[in-house]
Amino acid sequence: MCTSCGCGHPDMLPAVPLRPGGLVHDPGSGLGPVRRIVLEQDILAKNAEFAAVNRHRFAAAGVLALNLVSAPGAGKTTLLARTVTALRDECPLAVLSGDPYTAQDAERIAATGVPVLQINTGKGCHLDAQGVGRALDRLPLPEGGILFIENVGNLVCPVDFDLGEDGMVLVLSVTEGEDKPLKYAPIFAAASVLLLNKVDLLAHVDFDLVRCLNDVRRVHADLPVLQLSARSGAGFATWLNWLRQRCAALRR
């Protein structure tokens, strides 16, 4: 298991020659042949069981559950705070906020008046279904509304851990560079919608918008891409309408 973040992925081990029968021999170890056991499959299978329970809870309550993922600094919390402020009078809302150590993000959401619960992961680089399920025992589900699950800032680990959500909202900011769709292709392939944030800064950063959009299409041809600014509000109406449509579809 990955000892650096505890995420369940196998450690990156040095390349050593394989022997018949799955044995590995590292001449420098002094230990002779060793059998390497990969634990990732069992960990993800157990996570899938908890995710199925969460999914049932969401469906029973008529809740649209969305998993928000991004790299650190993409503006996910600012976007979320503006979103719940705009929608809090339309439908029930709640937020689970994941962060390694602090409660700063949850405090920002709480200032909007929307129910929020902080999940601290410590060295963990993502939320998992069991942790979300435990949090749901403390945060009442917004029946008939939307639950936003703000994942830990990371473009690698969250893609492998189903939380039971109805969709994954991927946030990419123009300040991060246009190379992310190909460098982190799995999370772009898994996303339900891409929010290209901070477009108000396009004139001030070296960001190739055309290349970025073309690379997104190479990874996920049908992925909706919404260009907006969480700070200025530009393009925000399109994002809110996307949420309303998803809620309406869930009710139908």
> What per-residue confidence (pLDDT) applies to 40?
59
DSSP readout, 72-113? Answer: TTSSHHHHHHHHHHHHTTTS-EEEEEEESS--HHHHHHHTTT
pLDDT tens digits, one per residue of 97-113: 999 888 999 999 999 99
CA distances from 170 to 39, 56, 88, 164 (A): 28, 23, 22, 16
CA distances from 36 to 19, 24, 42, 74 (A): 11, 7, 15, 38
Domains annotated on the chain, with CATH:
1-38 (no CATH), 51-251 (3.40.50.300)
pLDDT tens digits, one per residue of 171-194: 999 999 999 999 999 999 999 999
pLDDT tens digits, one per residue of 210-250: 999 999 999 999 999 999 999 999 999 999 999 999 999 88
pLDDT tens digits, one per residue of 48-73: 999 999 999 999 999 999 999 999 99
Taking the CA atoms of residue 204, residue 207, residue 210 and residue 216 in that order, the dihedral angle to the nearest 10 degrees is: -130
> What per-residue confidence (pLDDT) applies to 43?
82
pTM of the model: 0.85
Q: Find the mean pLDDT for residues 77-97.
A: 97
